[in-house]
Amino acid sequence: MDILSLLETYSYVMAYDVQVYQRWADGFYVKIKLRLSDGSELHAREYIDANERNYAFHWQTADKQLISRWDNAPHHRTIATFPHHRHKPEGIVESSDITLDSVLNLIQKQVGGER
């Protein structure tokens, strides 16, 4: 699983739990919970097949307060980057199509650690 190899490259990822992993000929579904060095958690979910990609990367503090969530659920139609958007404590903002690797890079800038 390439995702596990990716997670191993980030020194601030202290542990992870693969909650679901399903693979088929033209795609996969994965759900992973990561514990980070500052005590925060990242809940990553991604579904990919030949016709679509759905994702949600939810980052929260140790006491379950939202830090940020990136997703492409089609429910914020007024956002210019629809369906891609980011939830922050202050509200919903624009976001681009983002990958787990990109999210981990963004988090690394705030949490610290090396790759």
What SS3 string covers 34-93?
Answer: EEECCCCEEEEEEEECCCCEEEEEEEECCCCCEEEEEECCCCCCCCCCCCCEEEECCEEE
Q: What are 38-79's pLDDT values in tens digits? A: 999 999 999 999 999 999 999 999 999 999 999 999 999 999
Mean pLDDT, residues 3-30 taken together: 93
Quick one: which of 95, 114, 94, 90 has its CA closest to 37?
Answer: 114
Domain segments of the chain: what residues? 2-109
pLDDT band at 112 (very low <50, low <70, confident <90, very high): confident
pTM for this prediction: 0.92
Cross-strand partners of 47? 29, 54
